[in-house]
Chain A
Amino acid sequence: MDGGEELTEQETALYDRQIRVWGVDAQRRLSKSHILVSGLKGTVVEFCKNIVLAGVGSLTLNDDREVTEETLAANFLIPADENAFDGRSIAELCCDSLKDFNPMVRVSVKKGDLSSFGADFFDKFNVVVISCCSLATKRMVNESCRKLSKRVAFYTVDCRDSCGEIFVDLQNYTYSKKKLDETVECQLKYPSFEEAIAIPWRSLPKRVSKLYFAMRVVERFEEVERRKPGETSISDLSNVLKLRKELCLAHLLYAMQSLNESQIPDALLERLIAVTREFPPVCAVVGGILGQEVIKALSGKGDPLKNFFFYDAVDGKGIIEDISNS
């Protein structure tokens, strides 16, 4: 495997229990990985905690927003002492706490707007995780990662009300897994975010999670209305329902005998636009799954998720959906 460096005694002692789960090689690869996160909402904060504890090489935080009551709601990294804020950004405040979690991980802040970073910026990372950003930014960052000569794993994550969504793009991903007694090479081909969401709904397999469609409607709504991510309320419902109809038509959902608008229930859309605050237990669940997936992708151990994950606390299901042409 890559690199022959051994873990230090300190690392072996600290990571003992997890090395027993994923092995020394995986731990070594983790400690050489560099991760960028942008948009420090509750779910991403959970993810940051998980990945810092796991012992990645470095974590770069990007979020210039100032602390508000809402940002504090699902954030356990920011101490309650208001004097400590002192005009500092969310990323700066989270950085201090995360450093403290694991002195062996380099945690730093990158200021600036995500959409202003050039492709070469992303080249420094092995994993890019973005949250609460516009559809255009998602596309742009995803494409930037894809243009690079080395593979940069790309993830988006968003939670609204009791629902969460993860998207994964590992491009062309090869990994080994144990099947019975032999190790076999597996290959997965991921579509980009743009490619995935462009797949006509009529050609998707039956029984794709309703959340997939609902999230696309809300995402599109925010784009056409030029809203900031999460800037919706119940008063938008009629327009959202209108947009749902248009999208269903565009994707020829009507043409399908069994599928229609009810595939995207009113009540679900209502929840997603009315309660844009995160629900902390859902952040823990989705941030946990995301942490696990990033560890898998970095260590090359285990089947990675392809390519969407949905969780809704209302029915309790955590579902993987493969939205691709392959």
Chain B
Amino acid sequence: MASQQQAPAIKGAKVLMVGAGGIGCELLKTLALSGFQDIHIIDMDTIEVSNLNRQFLFRQSHVGQSKAKVARDAVLRFRPDISITPYHANVKDPDFNVDFFKQFNVVLNGLDNLDARRHVNRLCLAADVPLVESGTTGFLGQVTVHVKGKTECYECQPKPAPKTYPVCTITSTPSKFVHCIVWAKDLLFAKLFGDKNQDNDLNVRSSDAASSSEHANDVFEPNKDEDIEQYGRRIYDHVFGYNIEIALSNEETWRNRNRPRPIYIRDVLPGESVQQNGNAERMPLPDDPLSVSAMASLCLKNPQDIWSLMENSRIFLEALKLFFSRRKKEIGNLSFDKDDQLAVEFVTAAANIRAASFGIPLHSLFEAKGIAGNIVHAVATTNAIISGLIVIEAIKVLRNDANSYRMTYCLEHPSRKMLLMPVEPFEPNKSCYVCSETPLSLEINTHRSKLRDIVEKIVKAKLGMSLPLVMHGSALLYEVGDDLDDDMVANYAANLDKVLSELPSPVTGGTILTVEDLQQELSCNINIKHREEFDEEKEPEGMLLSGWTQAPAVENKNTNVANGASTSSSCQAVPLETEEDDELVMLPAGSDSSGKKRKISDVSTTAISDLSTAADEKRSKKRVDELDDDGEAVVMLEDGNADIGKGLQ
């Protein structure tokens, strides 16, 4: 591994880095120090304050600028003679096509989301360029090598799905704080400040049609004769009082649950008006709408504090008032943003009031922000370690040293004395729909489901194609692109709304559909099987895709006692792409003699998921043992440490 021997391979190499964030900054620095001379780097993001604790190439003065460009300039200060080409762009842009990828000797990923990782994986396969993939969360990290035909591709193993919650849990029967956050963010916030035309399950509808229509229709619109203070109190009473009363009237729901407590503003803040408590009127008004803050108005400073019900109620009313008084223009177009202070305050307060109602512990704004904003835990040290490991693998790839490729896990607690655990890479999965040509199979009701269902729920959502094309034999059923003429666009739009069996080229049981993404150069076949009935609870999508595997959902869905009075649709899933906070238990409970369960954060965005299934652990144990050819650690340690292999024996 002496650096001299590697010099030619490194110097002549042209490498593409995707991502100039936490891993990217470290990686660019380590590549430059290691002697790489031609580095291209893509990142669409701009710099934020919360990046500065680890993305060390950036300073306060760079906030708002392109990460790729600032990173380049920073590295050129200590390595002025190398070439770094930045692209402030999305890696999914059509410019970054297969030909673009073909110019590189190796691609190095430092990404933060599953979608982009899958995209890059497909382009690397199509361009036949090796990929070194990485991911970190907190103290955990992983580096893997993906070389077409030699090792598995990024998609050969299932990745954990974004966590979803049944709508009923969110609207009627929350049992965890995260359910209250989803309710506050996706339902209440969206209803009050977002697009009014969006479907919204906020209202618990009563079987009593009269009261339902009376309350459900325009209850969220301010009345002409009320001021903003009265409006806020009315909304408060409606969502935390009235709606809970309605829910309580459905006895069936509460047979095996704790009954929630309706909360009315008059009980929490009797006879009090927010104006008398807040200093809003006296405070100088900030110019930047994003710095308007209810906490500031109410003199609450510490985001780590857990507010009382009373404080939450004041924040709720104050935030609502500030939205209507200071940010009126945005109402109707707002969507939740973790960097929008007022939005975070409103969601925290609303979630806490709801939590109080359901007997769920309240949380601080800091915690609520993490949950609502899907904020990933991140520290500099793990990113630095991972960047070093990426470069070590990249050099092996450049030297074509296939026998020494390793996937390496960076662990928080040692396993068999190891904090850095190398594992031999796995062979390609022969039935992977991405890197092998194995067809998928789809069970669907071809007389009822529409082409749109397949395009949206399967091709885009599950197969991760962004510019899909659907063919039946030689007949094109659907495609997208800039170069289509109007007739074709109209034709495809019409097809989307047709039932499968009524398409110009009918799709029925036994049909083989071909779906392609021209940018990713990925093509796969789907065998269609007709099926009449689907279980609304278990198969809410009304179809079942196989040959495509998704890790088991993490959330232990409580059996939903369907809200008998509810007329809302059955329990669909509300996705919450939580990237932190919820932890996957890696080992089956009780399998670990020390009782020290090893957990790994459920990060849909990191490749760490490879560690997350028992099957994988068995594989890694096997491979670890095989690696011990020097006899160093063949014997399992007997110290009772959490041990990936041992736990499963």
> Is B328 part of the contact surface with A, judged by Cβ < 8 Å?
no
> Is A76 part of the contact surface with B, judged by Cβ < 8 Å?
yes
In the A-B complex, the 3 residue pairs with the smallest Cβ-Cβ separation, listed nearest first, are A318-B420, A316-B422, A284-B388
Counting contact residues on chain A (CB < 8 A from B), the size range is: 35 or more
Residues of A48-82 whose CB lies within 8 A of B: 49-50, 53-55, 72-80
Instruction: Name B392's contact: one of A74, A76, A281, A302 (CB within 8 Å).
Output: A281
Q: Are A20 and B580 in touch, CB under 8 angstroms?
A: yes
Nearest-CB distance from B445 to chain A (Å)?
A: 45
> Is A280 part of the contact surface with B, judged by Cβ < 8 Å?
yes
Give B51's nearest chain A residue, CB to CB: A17
How far does the alpha carbon of A12 sit from the alpha carbon of B295 in the complex, in Å?
Answer: 15
Q: Are A17 and B50 in touch, CB under 8 angstroms?
A: yes
Q: Give the B-binding residues of A (Cβ under 8 A).
A: 6, 9, 12-22, 24, 42, 46, 49-50, 53-55, 72-80, 100-103, 161-162, 179-180, 207, 209, 271, 274-275, 277, 279-285, 287-289, 291-292, 295, 302-303, 305, 309, 311, 313-321
Chain B residues in 8 Å Cβ range of A22: 379
Annotate B370-391 by CB proximity to A: 1 below 8 A, 0 otherwise: 1000011111111111011101
How far does the alpha carbon of A97 sit from the alpha carbon of B510 in the complex, in Å?
Answer: 66
How far does the alpha carbon of A275 sit from the alpha carbon of B574 in the complex, in Å?
Answer: 57
Annotate B70-102 by CB proximity to A: 1 below 8 A, 0 otherwise: 000001011111000000000000000000000
How far does the alpha carbon of A54 sit from the alpha carbon of B639 in the complex, in Å?
Answer: 33
Annotate B1-26 by CB proximity to A: 1 below 8 A, 0 otherwise: 11110000000000000000000001
Q: Are B78 and A288 in touch, CB under 8 angstroms?
A: no
Chain A residues in 8 Å Cβ range of B377: 17-18, 20-21
Nearest-CB distance from B394 to chain A (Å)?
A: 9
Q: Are B53 and A14 in touch, CB under 8 angstroms?
A: yes
> Is B290 part of the contact surface with A, judged by Cβ < 8 Å?
no
Give B406's nearest chain A residue, CB to CB: A316
Chain B residues in 8 Å Cβ range of A320: 414, 417-419
The answer to whether residues A316 and B384 also contact, given A55-B53, A277-B3, A309-B419 and a CB cut-off of 8 A, is: no
Annotate B398-415 by CB proximity to A: 1 below 8 A, 0 otherwise: 000000001010101110
Chain B residues in 8 Å Cβ range of A282: 388, 392
Nearest-CB distance from A51 to chain B (Å)?
A: 9
> Is B534 part of the contact surface with A, judged by Cβ < 8 Å?
no
Q: Are B419 and A318 in touch, CB under 8 angstroms?
A: yes
> Is B596 part of the contact surface with A, judged by Cβ < 8 Å?
yes
Q: Are B3 and A53 in touch, CB under 8 angstroms?
A: no
How far does the alpha carbon of A195 sit from the alpha carbon of B495 in the complex, in Å?
Answer: 79
Residues of B257-276 whose CB lies within 8 A of A: none
Q: Are B417 and A319 in touch, CB under 8 angstroms?
A: yes
Nearest-CB distance from A159 to chain B (Å)?
A: 11
Q: Are A21 and B139 in touch, CB under 8 angstroms?
A: yes
Instruction: Name B632's contact: one of A49, A179, A207, A303 (CB within 8 Å).
Output: A207
Q: Are A180 and B595 in touch, CB under 8 angstroms?
A: yes
Instruction: Name A274's contact: one of B2, B54, B59, B412 (CB within 8 Å).
Output: B2
Interface residue count on the B side (C-beta < 8 Å): 67
Q: Are A291 and B384 in touch, CB under 8 angstroms?
A: yes
Q: Are A14 and B52 in touch, CB under 8 angstroms?
A: yes
How far does the alpha carbon of A142 sit from the alpha carbon of B377 in the complex, in Å?
Answer: 35
Annotate B499-532 by CB proximity to A: 1 below 8 A, 0 otherwise: 0000000000000000000000000000000000
Instruction: Name A283's contact: one of B388, B417, B580 (CB within 8 Å).
Output: B388
| Given contact pairs A207-B633, A316-B408, a sample of 10 additional A-B residue pairs in the complex whose CB atoms are under 8 Å apart | A6-B304, A12-B366, A13-B49, A14-B52, A76-B29, A277-B3, A281-B389, A287-B384, A292-B381, A292-B382
How far does the alpha carbon of A311 sit from the alpha carbon of B422 in the complex, in Å?
Answer: 11
Nearest-CB distance from A293 to chain B (Å)?
A: 9
How far does the alpha carbon of A283 sit from the alpha carbon of B34 in the complex, in Å?
Answer: 10
> Is B46 part of the contact surface with A, judged by Cβ < 8 Å?
no
How far does the alpha carbon of A97 sit from the alpha carbon of B124 in the complex, in Å?
Answer: 37
How far does the alpha carbon of A16 sit from the alpha carbon of B595 in the complex, in Å?
Answer: 31
Chain A residues in 8 Å Cβ range of B627: 315
How far does the alpha carbon of A50 sit from the alpha carbon of B378 in the complex, in Å?
Answer: 12
Nearest-CB distance from B626 to chain A (Å)?
A: 13
> Is B335 part of the contact surface with A, judged by Cβ < 8 Å?
no
How far does the alpha carbon of A139 sit from the alpha carbon of B627 in the complex, in Å?
Answer: 37
Give B378's nearest chain A residue, CB to CB: A17
Nearest-CB distance from B176 to chain A (Å)?
A: 17
Q: Are A315 and B384 in touch, CB under 8 angstroms?
A: no
Nearest-CB distance from A251 to chain B (Å)?
A: 19
Chain B residues in 8 Å Cβ range of A103: 60
Q: Which of A6, A78, A284, A311 has the most CB of B within 10 A?
A: A284
Chain A residues in 8 Å Cβ range of B139: 21, 292, 302
Instruction: Name B385's contact: one of A49, A74, A288 (CB within 8 Å).
Output: A288
Chain A residues in 8 Å Cβ range of B138: 21
Q: Are A79 and B50 in touch, CB under 8 angstroms?
A: no
Chain B residues in 8 Å Cβ range of A102: 52
How far does the alpha carbon of A318 sit from the alpha carbon of B345 in the complex, in Å?
Answer: 43
Q: Are A20 and B375 in touch, CB under 8 angstroms?
A: yes
> Is B249 part of the contact surface with A, judged by Cβ < 8 Å?
no
> Is B33 part of the contact surface with A, judged by Cβ < 8 Å?
yes
How far does the alpha carbon of A168 sit from the alpha carbon of B257 in the complex, in Å?
Answer: 52
Chain A residues in 8 Å Cβ range of B388: 280-285, 288
Nearest-CB distance from A11 to chain B (Å)?
A: 10
Q: Which of B75, B388, B417 has the most CB of A within 10 A?
A: B388
